[in-house]
C-alpha cells in the first residue's frame, strides 16, 4: 500500500526543481514555442504550487527559439551564433512562461547562471540568497545558463548538469528531468530484445552508468548527462526522476506511477549540505561569541553580529569560519555572510544597525543557520 507513496517523491517533496528540455518547449514543426504543451505544463505547475510545493524551473530553449527568430540556417552553430541566438531567444522563452503562468497569478523571475556562480562561494551565496528571496515571495525562478557570456571554459554546457547544481545549491528534495525519453532503459543482463525501463535505481554504479552510454537507441538524447546529473543530485540528498515530458500530463504521470525512472537519494539535502560545510573547506577565520549567542546556536538559530565579541583571520564573504566560545572551544563552523573587514565593524551591533555602520544593508545574520554546522550534530 505504502509502496506507491514511497515511490512518489513529488508528493513528499517540499522544494522541486523541474528541468525542461528544448525538444519539449519548442514546437519541432515551426521552431517556435509549443503553446499547447506549455499550457498543460503550466496547469500542472499551478497544481504543485497550490499543493504547497516550492518550484524552480530550469528551462532550455533559448538557443532554439533564437535560431528561428534570427533566421540562422546553419545546422551546427558557432559559439557566437549560439550566444546571439540565446540572447534573442531567452526573452521569448521568459515571455512565454510569463504569459502562461500569469493566468494562475503565478509570478516568475529570470535567473541566468554560469558554472562559477555555483562554484565560487561568494557568488554562490549571492545566487542562493536571490533564489531564497524569490521563493519567499512566491515567485518561480526560471533558470537557464547565461549563454551570452559563458565561454567554453565556464560553461555548464548542458542544462541537466545546471539543474542538478541548482537543486543542490537550493537543497531541493526532488529534481525532475523532463525530456524526450521515458527514463533509463536497460537491455537486462541477457540483452533481451525488449528493453526494460528501470523503475527505480538505488545506486548509480558503473553498471547503471554503462546503461546510459550504450543503450542502443533508447538511451540517446543525452542520457549520459542525465545520469551524471542524477548522480550529482542524489549524492546530495535530492531524489531524481527522469521522465518523458511530451506525455499529456507529464507530472501527473509520475505521481500516478506511470513510466519514469526514480533515483534514490543518499541522505537528505540538509545532511549533505552540513557534511559539505563540515568537511570540504579550510576555515579562514574565527568568530568568538558570548554566552547568549552560544545558547542561540544550541537552539539551532543563526549567529547574529550582536553576539560576537571578537573576530580573527582573513576571510571574505562566503568563506568558512570557526565559531568559538570565549574560552577557545570550537562550537560550530559555517559560511560567513560578511568579509573580515565588515565583520569587525558590525560585531556587537544589533542587525538593525548594520546599514548605519556599513553604509549598505546586508544580511541580518553573520552566519545563517542554513550555513552552519554545530560540532555536536
Q: Can you give the binding site for ligand GLU, defined by CB under 6 A? A: 22, 60-64, 86, 144-145, 147, 158-159
Nearer to ligand GLU, 176 or 287 (CB): 176
Could you give the CA distance from residue 272 to residue 234 in angstroms, rounded to a whole number? 10
Nearer to ligand GLU, 159 or 215 (CB): 159
Contact 375, 332 (CB under 8 A): yes
Nearer to ligand GLU, 61 or 237 (CB): 61
Contact 281, 244 (CB under 8 A): no
Q: Report residue 277: phi and psi, to 5°.
A: -65, -45
Angle separating helix axes 223-234 and 206-214, nearest 10 degrees? 160
Give the 3-state secondary structure of residue 162. helix
Closest separation in Å from C-beta 366 to ligand GLU: 36
Nearer to ligand GLU, 144 or 234 (CB): 144
Nearer to ligand GLU, 117 or 158 (CB): 158
Contact 34, 27 (CB under 8 A): yes
H/E stretch holding 224 reads: helix 223-234
Burial label for 195, CB within 10 Å (0-12, 13-18, 19+), is middle
Set of cell numbers at residue 237:
540528498
Closest separation in Å from C-beta 58 to ligand GLU: 9
Nearer to ligand GLU, 163 or 302 (CB): 163
Closest separation in Å from C-beta 75 to ligand GLU: 15
Closest separation in Å from C-beta 114 to ligand GLU: 11
Closest separation in Å from C-beta 185 to ligand GLU: 21
Closest separation in Å from C-beta 106 to ligand GLU: 21
Could you give the CA distance from residue 155 to residue 145 in angstroms, rounded to a whole number? 8
* Pair type for strands 185-186 and 196-197: antiparallel
Closest separation in Å from C-beta 59 to ligand GLU: 7
Could you give the CA distance from residue 298 to residue 289 in angstroms, rounded to a whole number? 13
Nearer to ligand GLU, 17 or 335 (CB): 17
**Using the 8-state DSSP alphabet, how is residue 77 labeled?**
P
Nearer to ligand GLU, 24 or 170 (CB): 24
Closest separation in Å from C-beta 117 to ligand GLU: 14
Closest separation in Å from C-beta 116 to ligand GLU: 16
Nearer to ligand GLU, 143 or 287 (CB): 143
* Spatial strand order in the sheet of 200-201: 107-113, 139-145, 54-59, 15-20, 174-179, 239-244, 261-263, 200-201
Could you give the CA distance from residue 166 to residue 145 in angstroms, rounded to a whole number? 11
Tracing cell 535505481 back to the chain, one arrives at 201
Residue 142 pairs in a beta bridge with 57, 110
Amino acid at each position: 500500500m505504502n509502496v506507491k507513496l514511497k515511490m512518489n517523491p513529488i508528493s513528499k517533496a517540499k522544494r522541486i526543481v523541474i528541468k525542461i528540455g528544448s525538444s519539449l518547449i519548442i514546437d519541432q514543426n515551426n521552431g517556435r514555442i509549443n503553446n499547447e504543451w506549455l499550457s498543460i505544463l503550466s496547469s500542472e505547475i499551478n497544481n504543485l504550487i497550490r499543493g504547497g510545493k516550492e518550484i524552480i524551473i530550469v528551462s532550455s530553449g533559448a538557443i532554439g527559439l533564437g535560431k528561428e527568430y534570427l533566421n540562422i540556417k546553419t545546422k551546427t552553430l558557432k559559439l557566437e551564433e549560439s550566444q546571439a541566438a540565446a540572447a534573442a531567444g531567452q526573452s521569448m522563452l521568459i515571455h512565454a512562461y510569463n504569459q502562461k503562468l500569469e493566468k494562475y497569478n503565478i509570478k516568475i523571475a529570470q535567473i541566468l547562471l554560469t558554472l562559477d556562480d555555483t562554484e565560487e562561494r561568494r557568488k554562490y551565496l549571492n545566487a542562493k540568497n536571490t533564489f531564497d528571496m524569490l521563493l519567499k515571495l512566491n515567485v518561480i525562478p526560471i533558470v537557464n545558463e547565461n549563454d551570452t557570456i559563458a565561454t567554453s571554459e565556464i560553461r555548464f554546457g548542458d542544462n541537466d548538469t545546471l539543474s542538478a547544481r541548482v537543486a543542490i545549491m537550493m537543497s531541493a528534495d526532488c529534481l525532475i528531468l523532463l525530456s524526450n525519453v521515458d527514463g533509463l532503459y536497460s537491455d537486462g543482463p541477457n540483452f533481451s530484445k525488449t528493453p526494460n525501463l528501470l523503475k527505480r535505481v538505488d545506486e548509480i554504479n558503473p553498471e547503471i552508468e554503462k546503461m546510459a552510454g550504450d543503450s542502443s537507441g533508447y538511451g540517446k538524447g543525452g542520457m549520459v548527462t542525465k545520469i551524471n546529473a542524477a548522480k550529482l543530485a542524489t549524492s546530495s540528498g535530492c531524489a531524481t526522476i527522469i521522465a518523458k515530458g511530451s506525455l499529456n500530463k507529464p507530472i501527473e504521470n509520475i505521481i500516478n506511477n506511470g513510466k519514469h525512472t526514480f533515483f534514490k537519494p543518499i541522505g537528505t539535502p540538509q545532511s549533505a549540505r552540513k557534511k559539505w560545510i563540515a568537511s570540504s573547506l579550510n576555515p579562514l577565520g574565527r568568530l568568538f561569541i558570548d554566552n547568549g549567542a552560544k545558547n542561540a546556536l544550541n537552539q539551532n538559530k543563526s549567529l547574529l553580529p550582536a553576539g560576537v565579541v571578537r573576530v580573527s583571520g582573513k576571510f571574505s564573504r562566503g568563506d568558512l569560519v570557526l565559531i568559538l566560545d570565549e574560552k577557545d572551544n570550537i562550537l560550530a563552523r559555517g559560511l560567513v555572510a560578511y568579509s573580515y573587514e565588515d565583520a569587525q565593524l558590525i560585531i556587537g551591533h544589533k542587525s538593525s544597525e548594520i546599514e548605519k555602520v556599513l553604509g549598505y544593508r546586508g544580511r541580518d545574520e553573520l552566519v545563517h543557520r542554513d550555513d552552519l554546522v554545530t560540532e555536536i550534530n
